[in-house]
Amino acid sequence: MLKFYVLVSGNRFALKRHENTIPIEDMVIVINTKDQLFEQDAVEYCTSNGIEHYVTESDGTPSKGKNSLLDLFEASQNDYAVMVDGDDIITEYGVLYYKKLAASTNAPDAVALKNQVGFNIGLIHYSSSNPGFETNKHGDVNPDSVHPRKWYPFKQKNVLEDCVESLPVGCTQRTWAEYCLKYIGSNETHHRITFISKKAASMYRFNELVIGEDTCMYLDYYDAHRRGALNLVFHNEEKNPTYQYDSRVSGIVEKKNAEARQKGEIPDWLGKLVEKYKEYEQLGKLWATGS
């Protein structure tokens, strides 16, 4: 059996739109938030609509919530899970694709996405006070009221190559770019893991980074795949996306980067992710792109 585990923490519009593509009977809502009012509203919404849901302890970081999701899946009777960040979208095609995959006789242990597709709003910066965007009394912005621009959020070949060519050897940004180019395919900054088996869930937990936990999880699973410990496959999202990253719902990455820009500093999460890359490299857990 396959379930779509949706991790939510704050936006009520984003919470409710998942039923547009995911059948309610196939959905599990994981409520991981420090906002007590949102927690109450999310529980009420799930209860009134007959959606399986759980409230888990939050420390304000995505990795804490994602590890709670893994704990719930591992303790369940379900054979497979699709992990969904609550701000993002599983497409109709994605629901069919993952269901078909779970029902197959040779289902993989993990699926990683390449050429990932997303929505953003270009250079427009919005808030609940901006005119033209639908909001509710809590200040949540309805992402679907914001005219989007389709983009490839993690394909940053030009940015990465520019860092390598223009920045000093050993600086944080250049080192990060070098690791991405060497160890992540499709010229992306990371590959999201979506579909997982019980076996895969039992092997790892998300690294306790505020940002970069998805990168580390991919590196863990790809290393296990290359060592023959599990079967990982890639899905090319370019033509038929299963998952859409949505930055119209302001997330922690945007907030941290904005804070750093205001101070004229490099985001602190970048240095912490570089240290993890170095740690993985010393452990022999990194595989060169195309190897």
Q: Which CATH number do you get for residue 10?
A: 3.90.550.10
* Helix segments in the chain, DSSP class H: 12-17, 36-48, 62-75, 92-103, 157-166, 172-183, 198-203, 213-226, 252-263, 268-282
Q: Containing domain of residue 124, as a range?
A: 2-151+192-250
Least Cα distance to 149 among 244, 226, 232 occurs for 244
Q: What is the pLDDT of residue 139?
A: 85
Contacts of 152 by beta carbon, 8 Å cutoff, 6+ apart: 115, 116, 117, 118, 188, 238
41 part of a folded domain: yes
182 part of a folded domain: no
186 part of a folded domain: no
Q: What is the pLDDT of residue 267?
A: 78
Which residues of the chain carry a pLDDT beneath 70? 121-132, 250-252, 254, 256-257, 260, 290-291
Contacts of 260 by beta carbon, 8 Å cutoff, 6+ apart: 266, 267, 268
pLDDT tens digit sequence for 110-125: 999 999 999 876 544 4
286 part of a folded domain: no
Question: Does pTM surpass 0.85?
Answer: yes
96 part of a folded domain: yes
Q: For strand 149-151 and strand 193-197, is the pairing parallel, antiparallel, or unpaired? A: unpaired
For the chain, give the longest Cα–Cα distance.
57
Q: What is the pLDDT of residue 16?
A: 97
pLDDT tens digit sequence for 34-90: 999 999 999 999 999 999 999 999 998 899 999 999 999 999 999 999 999 999 999
Number of domains observed in the structure of the chain: 1
26 part of a folded domain: yes
168 part of a folded domain: no
Q: What is the pLDDT of residue 132?
A: 65
179 part of a folded domain: no
